Structure 1
């Protein structure tokens, strides 16, 4: 009887350990999937956040980038150059760059008729006179300022007003030298204000071809 009781006690102890093992195993069995799922969700959120950050940075960079201003200007090169025409040049270009773009000066060109160092402006007309042709005296910025101070004027487009310009200002016109400028002043004094640019053809030494060239540089009020 005692042996039977001892056997039963041993079985109870084993059964207790088995039940305890089953309980612990069941606990981990039900808890592990939940933890794994939670870890997976956290990982997915981290990946989503990390993928959105570069996108936000890119959008901010695009917004921060300033709008670029036009870097080219367009000029019309005429007269004694190899290839007269309209050319697009960099914003900081000078007259010499425009002439080089047109193939350079011809053998008949009067280099004194243009200021090669002058900065270009958009829509500018550059006329290179031929040898023997009436060429203007190339002026500096200081001389232009002085002529403006003495009452010489030009309109908003930069054209010289034939009715208000003085001798120095008329000589800044491409193709007009000192003698021709004086002829214009003499005509104006004798006949009054110019009524139109075409009236220049009545000035001594200015023919139809010269008039066509001058139209780009002069105006009347």
Structure 2
């Protein structure tokens, strides 16, 4: 046995050295790989912490303002309802459960936009035409109770015909035209929009612009 070891001692030494180098190289590679992985994870974590959440643009837009309206008369569940300023009278009626069997919605403008503190009154079929008209006018006046503001100007989005005719150059026909325009087209966004009403030109508007408001 001793002669054999002496004979191959050099070869055994070389083989052992090669194996040692391979083992050391293997552990070095594994350690480098783990360090690189940990560093990548740390960088990703830092990037996530420092980044700003990507909030969809639609979520950042202003949401419609909530308003409170009072639904009365021939509806299934009369009461006070919280709705959106973008909704219309038909939405308020639906929120109140819809019409009763004896409702008469002939004079109701279902497309009119709702306003805060608005009263929506639905007459019933037992009321004659005169009573219906009186109730309709009462509802309009109630909705217009806040048509003025702290500056003393008349709100053309809320004013009744009687208030509009107090303005210079506005008679009953033009007052009716203003009310019809806002019922069909929605509220005026600016006082200049009043010139869109038939019969109101630049000359009339110049007389009115300091006396009216839309808020």
Query: What's the TM-score, normalizing by structure 1?
Result: 0.47
- Per the normalisation by structure 2, the TM-score is 0.48
